[in-house]
Amino acid sequence: MTTVPLRRNRNYTLLWAGQAVSEVGFSTTMIAFPLLVLAITGSPAASGLVLGADAAAQLLAGLPAGALVDRWDRKRIMLWCEAAMAAAVGSLALALWWDSASLAHMVLVAVIMGVCRALFEPAEDACLTRLVPEEQLATAISLNAARSSIGQMAGTALGGVLFAIGRVVPFLVDMITHLISLISLAFLRVPYREVERAPIGNIGKEIAEGLRWVWSHRHVRVTALCAVSLNFFFNAFYIVIIVLANARGVPAGQIGLMAAMLGFGGLLGSLLAPTLHRILHPWVSIMAVFWMVTLLTPLTILAPNGYVLGALFAGMSFLAPTANTTINTHQLLLTPDDLRGRLSGVMNVVVGAAAAAGPAAGGVLVEFVDGTVAVLWCTAGMAAVSLLVTVSPVLRRFPVSV
Would you say 80 and 133 are in contact if contact means Cβ atoms under 8 Å apart? no
Cβ burial, residue 130 (10 Å; 0-12/13-18/19+): middle
Cβ partners under 8 Å of residue 281, min gap 6: 398, 400
Give the CATH number of domain 1-187; options: 3.30.1220.10, 3.30.360.10, 1.10.10.10, 1.20.1250.20.
1.20.1250.20
Whether pLDDT at 1 is above 60: no
Taking only the tens place, the pLDDT of each residue in 37-87 is: 888 888 767 777 787 788 889 889 999 999 999 988 899 999 999 999 999
CA dihedral (257, 263, 267, 269) in degrees, to 10, reads: 100
Whether pLDDT at 115 is above 70: yes
The identity of residue 280, as a single letter, is L
pLDDT of residue 195: 65
Whether pLDDT at 287 is above 60: yes
Whether pLDDT at 2 is above 60: no
CATH superfamily of the domain spanning 210-402 = MFS general substrate transporter like domains (1.20.1250.20)
Reported as a pLDDT band with limits 50, 70 and 90, residue 377 is very high
pLDDT of residue 18: 93
Mean pLDDT is highest, among 164-173, 177-186, 220-229, 364-373, for 177-186
Cβ partners under 8 Å of residue 233, min gap 6: 358, 378, 381, 382, 385
pLDDT of residue 402: 43
| Domain chopping of the chain, boundaries | 1-187, 210-402
- Kindly tell me the sign of the dihedral angle through the C-alpha atoms of 302, 307, 309, 312: negative
Distance, in Å, from the CA atom of 324 to the CA atom of 373, rounded to the nearest integer, reads 30
Q: How many CA atoms lie within 13 A of 185 on its CB side?
A: 25
Cβ partners under 8 Å of residue 270, min gap 6: 142, 143, 145, 146, 149, 321
22-36, 112-126, 206-220, 239-253: the lowest-pLDDT one: 239-253
More confident residue, 83 or 199: 83
**Stretch 173-195: mean pLDDT:** 89
Distance, in Å, from the CA atom of 395 to the CA atom of 135, rounded to the nearest integer, reads 22
Distance, in Å, from the CA atom of 69 to the CA atom of 339, rounded to the nearest integer, reads 9
Taking only the tens place, the pLDDT of each residue in 349-369 is: 888 888 778 877 888 887 888
Would you say 231 and 354 are in contact if contact means Cβ atoms under 8 Å apart? yes
Mean pLDDT is highest, among 149-153, 211-215, 253-257, for 211-215
Distance, in Å, from the CA atom of 224 to the CA atom of 209, rounded to the nearest integer, reads 17
Distance, in Å, from the CA atom of 368 to the CA atom of 11, rounded to the nearest integer, reads 52
Taking only the tens place, the pLDDT of each residue in 211-220 is: 899 888 888 8
CB burial of 91-116 (b: ≥16 within 10 Å; e: otherwise) equals bbbebbeeeebeeeebbbbbbbbbbb
Q: How far apart are the first and last CA of the chain?
A: 22
Fold match, 1-187 / 210-402: yes
**H-only helix segments in 9-136:** 10-41, 44-71, 74-97, 103-131
The identity of residue 218, as a single letter, is R
